[in-house]
Amino acid sequence: MIDRYLAPVPERRQAIVTSLTFGYAAAWLVVRGLYVRDVARLPTRRFAPVGLFEIVGGPPPGWVVLIVWLLGLLGCSFAAFGRLTRVAAPVGAVAMLVIATLTSSYGQVFHTEHLLALQLLVLAAAAVIEPCPFRTDGRSATCSGWPLRLSMGVVVVVYVVAGIAKLRHGGVDWLTGDVLRSHVAADNLRKLLVDDPHSAVGGWLSGTAWLWPPIGALTIAVELGAPLALVPGRVRYGWVALAWSFHVGVLALMWISFPYQLSGIAYAAFLPVERIEASLRDTWRSRAGRGRLEVAA
């Protein structure tokens, strides 16, 4: 069992997953930079600490937030390009965790960055404990597979916990679709009343009763069925496709976006990304070659 968990994976696979994950985090910090600044300026009375900040107690000064944000951006950027990863990866991962926790400590607790923060920590630990590659077979390098498999495990746990939470709070009504239908209708109505972006599709489909039982059952099946993603091959790829489609459905029905999952990067550890990269590179080279021939003709 342990040998299978530690079984090597292609070095390029781990390098691509690491680059994509830290690259996404760097982009997130850039896009959310002004929002983070505005959050740091909110009055202390708005601060309701969660996670790490439950230990600290009070909010950090604005200049500290700026330094952490900058360290996170630099660390994630360096790690994305495979530079100084033993230092950059943990700095970027911890800074991202702090910033994401800070923004959730004001107002509504968003869980869209939880999976990203956890996977960053796993990859950062790998960069420190066992940098890749750790051995070479003469032609291609391989790495210990535990970082990618642990990243997969994090994904599985996150989805299973979400499924259990739905059944715990909604019971069997989640399977009949009643809870989901009411939730979608209420969420879209609230957004409509306060002039927030909402889903016209979700509001319209709320009046179609027969549609919601299969949607509710499929939601629970995808989340509680997440351990199937640990089975190699078509079963794994099938679950990844369903999980990604689930988030497309959430966006369509409620106008709630999970950008990390929708980008596909959250599931990169499950996929032979080095083969996908090679295929895309060959396609690009083939097209570039045809283009040169056409120009020469």
pLDDT, position 191: 83
Return the higher-pLDDT residue of 277 and 32: 32
Banded pLDDT at 1 (limits 50, 70, 90): low
pLDDT, position 20: 96
pLDDT, position 131: 74
Return the higher-pLDDT residue of 9 and 32: 32
Task: Kindly report the average pLDDT of the chain as a whole number.
Answer: 86
pLDDT tens-digit series, residues 223-234: 999 999 999 889
Contacts of the segment 43-49: beta carbons below 8 A, 24+ positions apart? 46/106, 46/107, 47/105, 47/106, 48/105, 48/106, 48/107, 49/105
Of the CA atoms within 13 Å of residue 70, those in its CB half-sphere come to 6
pLDDT tens-digit series, residues 163-191: 998 888 878 778 887 888 888 888 888 88
- CA gap 199, 197 in Å, rounded: 7
Global pTM value? 0.88
pLDDT, position 293: 55
Return the higher-pLDDT residue of 137 and 192: 192
9, amino acid identity: V
User: Which tokens sit at 258?
Assistant: 């999970």
Sign of CA dihedral 65, 259, 120, 78: negative
